[in-house]
Amino acid sequence: MFIEKSYVMIKPIFANEEWVIDEIKRRLTDAGLKIEDEGYISYDKKHAREHYAEHVGKDFYPPLEKYITSGKAYGMIVSGRNAIALIRQMVGSTSNPAKGTIRADIPKMMGREVQTRENVVHASDSTESAKREIKIFKELLEIEADKD
């Protein structure tokens, strides 16, 4: 049994809908995963670039950065057995996600088309990414707390 941590972020547009957050949390916990920490965060350009470091400089990055910094996101630290692989499977692919995955189902439930660039959720793809993304998430939570 290998317990690991992952980072899941519900992106702007979708994070504005409380039922979307509830639905994704339900799916994660129904799969036996535990949500260890969660909250609303706002990515600035610096944190977006750190989060998506491997994509900076690619032609799709500028619209991604614009989207991710356009409003509040909802982040979660999620743990469980093989959490990273399990969550990635639940989330589905960025392009043409399969029916039954979060990226396919949530837009359909909202009556929206599935958009590759403005998809529902991000999930860590490796242990290294999860560590980096969790660190960024915690920094952003502190920034949010300081605003209050």
* Strand, helix or coil for residue 71: coil
Give the C-alpha separation, 134 to 67, whole Å. Answer: 20
| CA neighbor of 41 nearest in space, from 76, 17, 14, 65 | 76
CA 26 vs CA 34, 54, 68, 105, 115: distances in Å: 10, 30, 23, 14, 23
Task: For residue 122, indicate whether it is catalytic.
Answer: yes
Quick check: 98 and 104 in contact, CB under 8 A? yes
Please give the positions annotated as active site.
122
